[in-house]
Amino acid sequence: MYHNPFYTAEIQGPWEEISIGRLELENGGAIEDCRLAVATRGELNEARDNVILIPTWFTGTHQAWLETYIGEGHALDPSKYFIVIVNQIGNGLSTSPHTTDDASIAMSRFPFVSIGDDVVAQERLLREHFGVTELFAVVGASMGAQQTYEWAVRFPDRVHRAAPIAGTAQNTPHDHLFTQVLLDAVTSDPGFNGGEYTSHEDVAEGLKRHARVWAIMGLSTEWWKTEAWRPLEFETRDQVVEGFLEPTFAALDPNSLVVMGRKWQHGDVARHTDGDLAAALGRIRAKVFVMPISEDMFFPVRDCAAEATLIPDAELRVIDDVAGHFALFGFVPEYMEQVDRHLNELFAS
Amino acid sequence: MYHNPFYTAEIQGPWEEISIGRLELENGGAIEDCRLAVATRGELNEARDNVILIPTWFTGTHQAWLETYIGEGHALDPSKYFIVIVNQIGNGLSTSPHTTDDASIAMSRFPFVSIGDDVVAQERLLREHFGVTELFAVVGASMGAQQTYEWAVRFPDRVHRAAPIAGTAQNTPHDHLFTQVLLDAVTSDPGFNGGEYTSHEDVAEGLKRHARVWAIMGLSTEWWKTEAWRPLEFETRDQVVEGFLEPTFAALDPNSLVVMGRKWQHGDVARHTDGDLAAALGRIRAKVFVMPISEDMFFPVRDCAAEATLIPDAELRVIDDVAGHFALFGFVPEYMEQVDRHLNELFAS
């Protein structure tokens, strides 16, 4: 328990914290008072059929969506839809290791939370707090795509459209190993102290190493080669690392990264079907646009395309962006133009 | 200075240690008594025009080439060629931090050695020790490809054929960052102690983390996805990591990895031409087969192909292998069949 300024309204903009009560966890244990950090835009219509749910990605918060993806002129248009962004458990805003009042789950004692736990929590939130049971769409990227798939498989009759962007329904072996490298960078720092540091600054070096792993996997070989960072007003490659990536990750809470990283590693909708991925994806009733990013180094197009073939009503919509995974940040306008075009088409279907 | 059993004839097979005397280093400093670990196969012919030089890759030694690439039935056939494998400086067999008798360069005091330094050393070795000035071919993979390019650019009239496999003439920005992640894993281990550990076992955890970085970059997403490791007689993904990759890297000398990693980071033939890569590669007179591996995660085909277009007499010969960079280990016979086919054609030209 310590104060980390990144997780404040000053940085994140306002959000609402909503308790959903006790959350039993899929892999054992419970969060006695699970509090979800929620931001909404737009209004719920009378038919309650205009709800778009957005779960968040690794390190991401509602703010990333509000800044880049949502607003007038975007497919995610608050004048049409009631958009509910739910921060994932452990992301620093929803119940998290460094902020919880519950000493039994603080810091290193935080339990293992799964993608399924997030979806169960979100479903309860929507039903009990907003009176919503059907979703016009679920839209999520990266770990948000994992949650999107989990929604579509777990509640097939209640999700009408799904847009998993840059993520998979079943985490791949490579992705599992990649996430381990990310975790290694943080937990190997002596300052991490098994999760019992006194400030994220104790883990500054580990967080910077973590950032440098993202430099080689979050951004493509070609993005670096073509110096596609120049429009972002950096002058050198090292400035991108030291002036953007390192500070971005050094601000974060280390236990939060560990909780999310482990969750990511174990994302797999085939848990519901004894390991049979085809059976799990075959359950989906939603219209799905599978939207990988062309240069993604760890959710490559072919992995997403393979899953798309197992979904009854899916289309593969590849987003062309040299950045790779971090295209999600919306570095160039062409990225959002593609996302909006695909989402508009999905929403019109 | 400590004893590491990996760098013994028991593991590596026999080699000859040849002093080339004092080696002035490109970036300052010198190695007073530079000793190169050399293994040869075949006989030098009277015309002295059948010499194939093989420089080694990161962590590799002459043994990797002898086991997989050289012998009867291979293009690298000792009945035709005098094959000289020179271990790169700092690789644990040639003059290296943990074995040198020269206290001024032992362990953390080892100087920064460049790809150019290796090539200067090799040229002197060949000329003074073997009486060889012209090379039928240079064949090298990964960091060996860097040395191959350096040879072809530095001594254009003396290299007649060159086969850079899975490597570039100018290290890419992504590759620089990737190498940094590899170095981070080792040097961040408190047991590394700034290079002044008492045994590589002090750095066991860092070396294992280093191995896990290789797991995600040395092997492709698709190799892991398709469980292409099954023919290697592993039963699970984790066995590949814990039973193969971790022990492979945990056996190595940490300072050796740091010396080679820094060398790799700064490989760039455009040093010779004020940063103009086209001018540097335009100097080459050798017939060059540029041989990237199809699924290489960090020397991607397109980076190698782009360099091939700048070489007067080059052909792009892509080796198709799902493993990616570590295809170099020769996991499947189809790999060596392709290498042999291309090299045979190059040698016949």
In chain A, which residues have their Cβ closer than 8 Å to the Cβ of B225? 172-174, 303
Select the residue of B190, B209, B303 nearest A221 (Cβ to Cβ). Answer: B303
* Cβ pair B284, B83 in contact under 8 A: no
Asked if B142 is an active-site residue, the reply is: yes
In chain A, which residues have their Cβ closer than 8 Å to the Cβ of B222? 300, 302
Subunit contact A177:B298, Cβ cutoff 8 A:
no
Subunit contact A188:B205, Cβ cutoff 8 A:
yes
How close A12 gets to chain B, by Cα (Å)?
Answer: 30
Q: Which of helix, strand or coil describes residue B164?
A: strand
The size of the A-B interface in CB pairs under 8 A is: 90
In chain B, which residues have their Cβ closer than 8 Å to the Cβ of A303? 221, 225
Subunit contact B190:A190, Cβ cutoff 8 A:
yes
Rg for chain B, CA atoms, rounded = 19
- pLDDT tens, position by position, A175-207: 999 999 999 999 999 999 999 999 999 999 999
Give the pair of three-digit tokens for residue B7.
């760098």
Which residues fall within 8 angstroms of residue A269, CB to CB, at 6 or more apart? A149, A150, A153, A154, A169, A170, A277, A280, A281
- Chain A residue with Cα closest to B171: A225
Select the residue of A181, A209, A212 nearest B212 (Cβ to Cβ). Answer: A181
Which residues fall within 8 angstroms of residue A3, CB to CB, at 6 or more apart? none
Subunit contact B212:A185, Cβ cutoff 8 A:
no
Subunit contact B300:A221, Cβ cutoff 8 A:
yes
Q: Which of B62, B98, B266, B325 is catalytic?
A: B325
The predicted pLDDT at position B72 comes to 95
In chain B, which residues have their Cβ closer than 8 Å to the Cβ of A298? 216, 221
Which residues fall within 8 angstroms of residue A25, CB to CB, at 6 or more apart? A31, A111, A112, A113, A114, A117
Subunit contact A174:B216, Cβ cutoff 8 A:
yes
Query: Can you give the length of chain A in residues?
Result: 349
Select the residue of A181, A209, A222 nearest B188 (Cβ to Cβ). Answer: A209
> In a mutagenesis test of the A interface, which of B177, B242, B246, B322 is the best target, namely the one with the most A β-carbons within 10 Å?
B177
- Domain B5-172+268-348 sits in CATH 3.30.565.10: no
Residues A96-104, mean pLDDT to the nearest whole number:
97
Subunit contact A222:B176, Cβ cutoff 8 A:
no
Subunit contact B180:A300, Cβ cutoff 8 A:
no
- pLDDT tens, position by position, B306-331: 999 999 999 999 999 999 999 999 99
The secondary structure of A166-191 as a DSSP string is S--SB--HHHHHHHHHHHHHHHTSGG
How close B332 gets to chain A, by Cα (Å)?
Answer: 20
Subunit contact A224:B173, Cβ cutoff 8 A:
yes
Subunit contact A189:B185, Cβ cutoff 8 A:
no
- Chain A residue with Cα closest to B179: A216
Subunit contact A173:B237, Cβ cutoff 8 A:
yes
In chain A, which residues have their Cβ closer than 8 Å to the Cβ of B213? 181, 213
Please check the confidence at residue A118 and state whether its pLDDT lies above 90: yes
How close A317 gets to chain B, by Cα (Å)?
Answer: 21
- Chain B residue with Cα closest to A179: B216
The predicted pLDDT at position A94 comes to 98
Subunit contact A209:B181, Cβ cutoff 8 A:
yes
Nearest to B255 by CA among B336, B200, B321: B200
Burial of A248 per CB tally in 10 Å (0-12, 13-18, 19+): middle
Subunit contact B215:A177, Cβ cutoff 8 A:
yes
- pLDDT tens, position by position, B239-289: 999 999 999 999 999 999 999 999 999 999 999 999 999 999 999 999 999
For A233, other C-beta atoms within 10 Å of its C-beta total 8
Give the pLDDT band of residue B344 (cuts 50, 70, 90): very high
Give the pair of three-digit tokens for residue B145.
């490809």
The predicted pLDDT at position A1 comes to 79
- pLDDT tens, position by position, A215-254: 999 999 999 999 999 999 899 999 999 999 999 999 999 9
Q: Which of B96, B142, B220, B256 is catalytic?
A: B142
* Cβ pair A298, A325 in contact under 8 A: yes
Give the pLDDT band of residue B1 (cuts 50, 70, 90): confident
Query: How far apart, in whole angstroms, are the C-alpha atoms of residue B338 and residue A190?
Result: 46
* pLDDT mean across residues, chain B: 98
Select the residue of B174, B221, B227 nearest A216 (Cβ to Cβ). Answer: B174
Residues of chain B whose beta carbon is less than 8 angstroms from a beta carbon of chain A are 172-178, 180-181, 184-185, 188-190, 205-206, 209, 212-213, 215-217, 219-222, 224-225, 227, 237, 241, 297-298, 300, 302-303
Residues B9-22, mean pLDDT to the nearest whole number:
97
Please check the confidence at residue B342 and state whether its pLDDT lies above 90: yes
Residues B155-178, mean pLDDT to the nearest whole number:
98
In chain A, which residues have their Cβ closer than 8 Å to the Cβ of B188? 188-189, 205-206, 209
- pLDDT tens, position by position, A278-322: 999 999 999 999 999 999 999 999 999 999 999 999 999 999 999
- Chain A residue with Cα closest to B295: A297
Query: How far apart, in whole angstroms, are the C-alpha atoms of residue A259 and residue A242?
Result: 25
Query: How far apart, in whole angstroms, are the C-alpha atoms of residue B340 and residue B321?
Result: 14
In chain A, which residues have their Cβ closer than 8 Å to the Cβ of B212? 177, 180-181, 184
Is the complex ipTM higher than 0.85?
yes
Angle among Cα A54, A349, A311 to the nearest 5 degrees reads: 70
Subunit contact B221:A180, Cβ cutoff 8 A:
no
**Catalytic residue positions of A?**
142, 296, 325
Query: How far apart, in whole angstroms, are the C-alpha atoms of residue A294 and residue A339?
Result: 13
Nearest to A294 by CA among A322, A266, A313, A267: A322
- Chain A residue with Cα closest to B210: A181
